[in-house]
Amino acid sequence: MKRLNLPTLSFALVMIYLFLPVAATALYSLATEWNSTVLPEGLTVKWFAELYSDSRFLQAFARSFLLSGLTTIAGILIMVPAIFSIVVYAPKLERLVQLLVMLTYALPGVILAVGLIRTYAGLGIPMILIAAGAYLVGLLPFLYQGIRNSLHTVQAHSLMEAAELLGAGRWRAFLRVIVPNIMPGILVSALLSFSILFGEFVLINILVGGRYETLQIYLYNKLSKSGHIASAITVTYFILMAVITGLIVKFTRGGSAQKEVS
Amino acid sequence: MKRFTSMLFLTTMPFFLLVILFLIVPLLSMINGSFQTDGGGAYTLNQYREIFTNPYYWQAFQNSVLISFLSSLVGIVAAVFATYAITRFPDRLQQRILVITNLTSNFAGIPLAFAFIVMLGNSGLFILLARKLGLDLSQSFSLYSWSGLTLVYIYFQLPLAVMLLFPLYRGVQKQWMEAAELLGASPLKFWLKIGLPVLLPGIAGTFSILFANAMGAYASAYALTTSNYNLVPIRIGALVSGDIFARPELGSALAVLLGLTLAIALTLNEWLTRRIRRDLS
More confident call, B235 vs A225: B235
Distance from CA of A171 to the nearest CA of B (A): 9
Binary contact (A109, B216; C-beta < 8 A)? yes
CB distance B101–A6 less than 8 Å?
no
Judged by a CB distance cut-off of 8 A, whether residue B5 touches chain A is no
Query: How close is the nearest chain B Cα to the Cα of A262, in Å?
Result: 23
pLDDT at B200: 86
B174 touching chain A per CB within 8 A: no
Record: contact A110-B237, CB cut-off 8 A:
yes
**pLDDT attached to residue A69:** 95
What pLDDT shows up at residue A86? 92
Q: How far is CA A39 from the centre of its chain?
A: 34
Taking CA atoms, what residue in B is nearest to A222? B114
Contact B108 A7 (CB under 8 A): no
What is the arithmetic mean of pLDDT over A34-49?
74
- Contact present, A21 and B107 (Cβ < 8 Å): yes
Q: What number is the average pLDDT over the span A175-196?
A: 92
A105 vs A33, more confident: A105
Q: What is the pLDDT of residue A261?
A: 42
The chain-wide mean pLDDT, for chain B, equals 87
Cβ contact B11–A17 (<8 Å): no
pLDDT at B18 over 90: yes
* Number of Cβ within a 10 Å radius of residue A57: 21
DSSP string for A193-217: HHHHHHT--HHIIIIIGGGS--HHH
- Per-residue DSSP letters for chain B? -HHHHHHHHHHHHHHHHHHIIIIIHHHHHHHHHHTB-TTSSSB-SHHHHHHHH-HHHHHHHHHHHHHHHHHHHHHHHHHHHHHHHHHTS-HHHHHHHHHHHHHHTTS-HHHHHHHHHHHHSTT-HHHHHHHHTT--GGGT--TTSHHHHHHHHHHHHHHHHHHHHHHHHTTS-HHHHHHHHHTT--HHHHIIIIIHHHHHHHHHHHHHHHHHHHHT--HHHHHHHTTSS--HHHHHHHHHH-TTT--HHHHHHHHHHHHHHHHHHHHHHHHHHHHHHHHH-
pLDDT, residue A262, reads 38
Query: What average pLDDT score do residues A11-30 get?
Result: 91
Domains of chain A: 1-44 (no CATH), 55-261 (1.10.3720.10)
Q: B45 Cβ partners below 8 Å, 6+ apart?
A: B35
Q: With an 8 Å Cβ cutoff, are A223 and B81 in contact?
A: no
pLDDT at A257 over 70: no
For testing the chain B interface, which of A3, A6, A14, A216 should be mutated: the one with the most B CBs within 10 Å? A14
Q: What is the pLDDT of residue B191?
A: 83
Do the Cβ atoms of B110 and A201 come within 8 Å?
yes
- pLDDT for B281: 45
Binning pLDDT at 50, 70 and 90, where does residue B199 land?
Answer: confident
Beta bridge partners of B153: none
* pLDDT value, residue B21: 94
**CB atoms B123 and A22 under 8 Å:** no
- The answer to whether the beta carbons of residues B71 and B58 sit under 8 Å apart is no
pLDDT for residue B276: 65
pLDDT at A146 over 50: yes
A260 confidence band (pLDDT: 50, 70, 90): very low
Contacts across the A-B interface (CB distance below 8 Å): 234
Q: How confident is the model at residue B279 (pLDDT cuts 50, 70, 90)?
A: low
Q: Search chain A and give the residue with CA nearest B233.
A: A110
The reported pLDDT for the residue numbered A116 is 93
Which architecture characterizes domain B41-280 according to CATH?
A: Orthogonal Bundle (1.10)
Digit-coded pLDDT (tens) for A167-181: 888 888 888 889 999
What is the spatial distance between Cα A167 and Cα A229, in angstroms, rounded to a whole number?
60
Contact list in A for residue B99 (CB cut-off 8 A) is 245, 249
Residues present in chain B in total: 281
Q: Considering only residues B197 and B228, tell me which one the structure prediction assigns the higher pLDDT.
A: B197
Look over chain A and give the mean of its residue pLDDT values, rounded to a whole number.
Answer: 87
Indicate the range of A1-10, A244-253, B57-66, B123-132 predicted with least confidence.
A1-10
% of chain A beyond a pLDDT of 70: 92
Q: What is the pLDDT of residues B25-80, one digit of tens each?
A: 999 999 999 999 888 778 989 899 999 999 999 999 999 999 999 999 999 999 99
Whether residues B159 and A18 touch (CB distance < 8 A) is answered with yes
DSSP conformation class of A132 = H
Separation of alpha carbons B101 and A6, rounded Å: 20
B96: closest chain A residue by CA? A249
Identify the CA nearest to B207 among candidates B195, B199, B197, B218. B199
pLDDT, tens digit, 9 for 90 and up, residues B80-127: 999 999 988 898 899 899 999 989 988 888 999 999 988 888 778 888
Question: What is the ipTM for the molecules in this complex?
Answer: 0.87
Residue B150 burial (10 A CB sphere; 0-12, 13-18, 19+): middle
Of B11, B26, B106, the CB nearest to A85: B11
- Show Cβ contacts of residue B10 under 8 Å, excluding neighbours closer than 6 positions: none
CA dist A235 and A227 (Å) reads 12
Tens-place pLDDT, residues A210-222: 788 999 999 998 8
**CA-to-CA dists, residue B170 to A8, B86, B167, B180, B195, angstroms:** 18, 12, 5, 17, 11
Mutation to test the A interface, candidates B10, B13, B103, B224, most A Cβ within 10 Å: B103
Q: Comparing A36 with B172, which gets the higher pLDDT? A: B172
pLDDT class of A46 with cuts at 50, 70, 90 = confident
Instruction: Between A223 and A240, name the one with better pLDDT.
Output: A240
Rg (CA), chain A: 23
